[in-house]
Structures are given as C-alpha cells and as structure tokens.
Amino acid sequence: MDEAAISSERRGPLIARLRLRDFFGGDRGNGDRLRDDGQSRRIVLAGESVDYRLVRARRRTIGMQIGLSGLTVRAPRWVSIREIEAALAERDAWVIRSLAEWRTRRREVLPRAWKTGASILYLGRELTLAVHPARKREIAADLLNLSVLHPAAADERQVAAFVGRWLREEALRLLAPYVAEFAPRVTTDAPTLKLSNARSEWGSCNQHGTIRLNWRLVQLPPHLARYIVAHEVAHLVELNHSPRFWKLVEMLFPGHVEARRTLDDWTALLEA
Ligand SMILES: [Zn+2]
C-alpha cells in the first residue's frame, strides 16, 4: 500500500506523499520491503512501564535504539522474547534515561518561551536562543546559539514570528539547491518547489511536477533533509513506491536505507 496508489483510486490528482508510515514501514506493497514495522510490546523496567517496537531483523545480536518515536529493539528471529526481555532488563537504566532525554528533546523542537536560554532545533543541532534588543532585526546561528536581535526583544510573539519567518527562508536556502542538483538527473522538466507546513509529512510530489517540502526539514540534520529531497525528486519520474522508484532514490542518494532508518528518530518533529 502506498499513498500514490490510494490517491489514484480516488481519481483525485496523483500525488505521492512522504508520510510518517513511509518510515514506520507502512508502505510495504509494491515490493517495498525495506522495513519491518515490527510488533508493539510492553515491558516493566526498573518499575516503569516501557513500550517498545520489536523488529525481527537479519542480524546476529540484539540491538536497541531510542529516538523520538521511542524504543526500538531489533533482534534475530531465533532469539526468544524471554532473552530479549532479559537483555532489556540488563540495560534498564540506560533505556529509562535515554527515553527521558528524548522526551525532553521532543518538547524542545521549538521553544515554548521565546527568550534567552530556550532551546531550538536547527540543522539537527539543539541551539540555545539568545535574544537581544537592537534597532536592526538580525539572526545568526553558530554551533551553540541562535542569536536574535530584535527591537521588541521582550515581545515573545514578535520574536517567534521573526524566527519562524527566518526558519522558512533558511529552509528554502537549504532545500532549493538540493532540488536543483537532483532534478536534472532524472527529468528535463524543472519542478516547482513550494514550502509546506504539513503536520503529517515531510514532503510530497504531484503529477504536475510540484514538490512540496516541509519547512521543518531545516530542523533536521541536513543529510536527512537531502534524502527527503531525493525521495520527492524521484517521484517526479515514479509517482509510486515501486522497486523502480527505490532504485531511483538509491541512484540519487546512495545509502538511502540508512537515512530512512535514522529519520525515524525525527518524525515526531512534525507533530511537536
Ligand atoms: Zn514517497
């Protein structure tokens, strides 16, 4: 099942959307078996109830990964649930601590209070907001801080609106070159690029050659944003998630499977 197939059934405009379930393995039809969405399970660790996703994978060891979407355990098929739970119990302190850290990070995608000291995510890094009164409006990001100069520095709504506009401009500055780089490799028609504010998807592409990219991509590590652009550009040619489509994605973005996996950790950004 994939979105493009659903849309064509509705006889609406053909549109391929990169939805959350793309990353959670919801689109397994058409030979897209890159991901196994696994099984939801629950365990009590150190007195705390912990939900996790168990994915049976071709590997030799039990792997644990914690991201914004929670705890994922990958294990070979021959390992029993009892062994998996024992492995989790062995690392219970790490699991509980990491989950707490990710919950905090999830909250700090955009600041609640738009003032100095608040956290904001930019290019995959958690920066600290530093707001200063000034006659001119200006924003500068370094490795640690996002410095904002604004005449009404104490007015959080104005600061939020100013930073919000800046993030969208930065998104375009980041994403447009990726589109310009990838598109000529698959088509002679230049696509139209638009920014979106969707809550459920990173990007989409329709049969008119319009690519919509979520401005929040500027908050992801840039290589993940780049993967999403490659994904949408590939839809200019293949408006589906067929094996031909994934081959095209891999041509544009070698190693895309790993990027899709890492992206899991960031999907909650959209809902934050
Ligand atoms: Zn897609």
Q: Read off the pLDDT of residues 197-207 as tens digits, 9 standing for 90 and up.
A: 987 789 999 99
The per-residue pLDDT for range 121-154, each reduced to its tens digit, is: 999 888 999 999 999 999 999 999 999 999 999 9
pLDDT averaged over the chain?
83
pLDDT > 90 in the chain, percent = 61
Cα–ligand 1 centroid distance for 8 (angstroms): 14
Cα–ligand 1 centroid distance for 176 (angstroms): 18
- Residue 180: the pLDDT is 97
State yes or no: pLDDT of 269 exceeds 90.
no
Cα–ligand 1 centroid distance for 239 (angstroms): 8
Nearest to 217 by CA among 176, 252, 157: 176
* CA pair distance 79, 56, nearest whole angstrom: 9
Cα–ligand 1 centroid distance for 249 (angstroms): 10
- Residue 21: the pLDDT is 36
> Which CATH code fits 3-34+159-270?
3.30.2010.10
List every span in the chain annotated with CATH 3.30.2010.10: 3-34+159-270
Task: Report phi then psi at 265, rounded to 5.
Answer: -70, -15
Cα–ligand 1 centroid distance for 269 (angstroms): 18
Average pLDDT rounded to a whole number, residues 170-190: 97
**Which tokens in the block code for residue 102?**
């990710």
State yes or no: pLDDT of 116 exceeds 70.
yes
- Residue 58: the pLDDT is 86
State yes or no: pLDDT of 19 exceeds 60.
no
Cα–ligand 1 centroid distance for 64 (angstroms): 27
Cα–ligand 1 centroid distance for 15 (angstroms): 9
Cα–ligand 1 centroid distance for 76 (angstroms): 28
Nearest to 138 by CA among 115, 174, 165: 165
pTM given for the model: 0.67
The per-residue pLDDT for range 232-254, each reduced to its tens digit, is: 999 999 999 999 999 999 999 99
Q: How far is CA 94 from CA 47, 83, 102, 231, in A?
A: 14, 18, 12, 34
Cα–ligand 1 centroid distance for 172 (angstroms): 20
